[in-house]
Amino acid sequence: MTETTHVPTISLNDDRAIPQLGFGVFQIPPEDTAEATSLALEVGYRHIDTAEMYENEQGVGDAVRDSSLERDAIWITSKLSNRKNEPDEIRAAFEETLQKLGSDYVDLFLIHWPLPTRPGSDFVTRWKVLEEFKADGRARSIGVSNFEVAHLERLAAECDVAPAVNQIEIHPYFLNEEVRAYGESHGIATEAWSPIAQGGVLEDPTITRIAERIERTPAQVVLRWHVQRRSIIFPKSVTPDRVRENFGLFDFELTDADMEAITGLDKGEEGRTGPNPNEFAGPSD
């Protein structure tokens, strides 16, 4: 097990520092999550991104416990389920998260979606419960995911603690620039989910040409592009060679021209792969 890694950290607005590269476990079946996470820890990843809705927090917790690493050597993020609206159910769900992770704290806890159109749901109410978790130390940092500028402005106007991060869809086909730029100018770090668009950008000729020229893989080129834009990323893979490949981002650089060419692939709203946060209402049950 590697004790130290070469992954840089990004400073957050609460004076903490998050490893810029982590391992995402969305869509990894619960029964496979411990094995996948264990491999990621062996390779050197020290940041795992899970969520209540992924139903695999237990596997993440098992892998962390089974590793030879101290708990504080690993950054763990989880996210509040879209099904939880009332303060008491949020508190109970958070306790379950800690229990499944086998830890008395998470490094970062996020509101998963703002759900502005969900009946009975209010993200300000939910944020105030996350502020409790931050105050009692069980969530060392708190943040949001899929928040648009208007949602962030409402939090700024009505709440005490500013989100440390906003985790949003970003990849070369969908820059999500307005939201990213708002975060940058307001001290909210940007985490880019689906950083390779679940593989959807890897055959783009602009990307494959750069990859061939510098003798790296298309995934490494795209992930390195995120790194140089100072986004926090956590690509997901259950394929051991890819888990290793996605970790090899810190011994090469893209030129300004390469960076610009990849940024130029943005398709605007058409490039979005996930739901639009202004419309998404979460599960119906």
Q: Is the dihedral of CA 165, 168, 173, 179 positive or negative?
A: negative
Residue number with CB closer to ligand NAP (135 or 213): 213
Residue number with CB closer to ligand NAP (32 or 137): 32
Q: At what angle do helices 123-135 and 149-158 cross, to 10 degrees?
A: 60
Query: Smallest distance, Å, CB 110 to ligand NAP?
Result: 7
Q: CA-CA distance, 250 to 238, in Å (whole number)?
A: 21
Under the binding rule (CB under 6 A), the answer on residue 142 touching ligand NAP is no
Query: DSSP label at 162?
Result: P
Query: Smallest distance, Å, CB 162 to ligand NAP?
Result: 19
**Amino acid found at 265:** L
Angle at Cα 41 formed by Cα 174 and Cα 29, nearest 5°?
A: 65
Site string for ligand NAP, 246-285 (x = CB under 6 A): x---------------------------x-----------
Site string for ligand NAP, 169-208 (x = CB under 6 A): ------------------------xxxxxxx--x------
**Residue 54 annotated in active site:** yes
**207-226 binders of ligand NAP (CB under 6 A):** 217, 219
End-to-end alpha-carbon separation of the chain, Å?
42
Residue number with CB closer to ligand NAP (102 or 274): 274
Choice from 109, 147, 174, 234 touching ligand NAP (CB under 6 A): 234
Residue number with CB closer to ligand NAP (135 or 189): 189
Under the binding rule (CB under 6 A), the answer on residue 25 touching ligand NAP is yes
Strand partners, 220: none
> CB of 142 within 8 A of CB of 163?
yes
Number of residues in contact with ligand NAP under rule CB under 6 A: 28
Query: Smallest distance, Å, CB 264 to ligand NAP?
Result: 20
Q: Which strands make up the sheet holding 139-145, listed edge to edge?
A: 23-24, 47-49, 75-80, 106-111, 139-145, 165-169, 189-193, 232-233
> CB of 30 within 8 A of CB of 59?
yes
Catalytic residue among 45, 54, 173, 182: 54
The set of residues, in sequence order, having a beta carbon less than 8 Å from that of 91 and lying 6+ positions away, is 129, 132
> CB of 61 within 8 A of CB of 114?
no
Choice from 84, 151, 154, 236 touching ligand NAP (CB under 6 A): 236
Query: Smallest distance, Å, CB 165 to ligand NAP?
Result: 11
Q: CA-CA distance, 204 to 278, in Å (whole number)?
A: 29
In which residue are the tokens 């307005």 written? 178
Residue nearest to ligand NAP (CB): 24
Q: CA-CA distance, 270 to 274, in Å (whole number)?
A: 11
Under the binding rule (CB under 6 A), the answer on residue 235 touching ligand NAP is yes
Instruction: Identify which range of 57-65, 90-98, 155-163, 242-250 contacts ligand NAP by CB under 6 A.
Output: 242-250
Please identify every residue annotated as catalytic.
54
Binding site residues, ligand NAP, CB under 6 A: 24-26, 49, 112, 145-146, 167, 193-199, 202, 217, 219, 234-239, 242, 245-246, 274
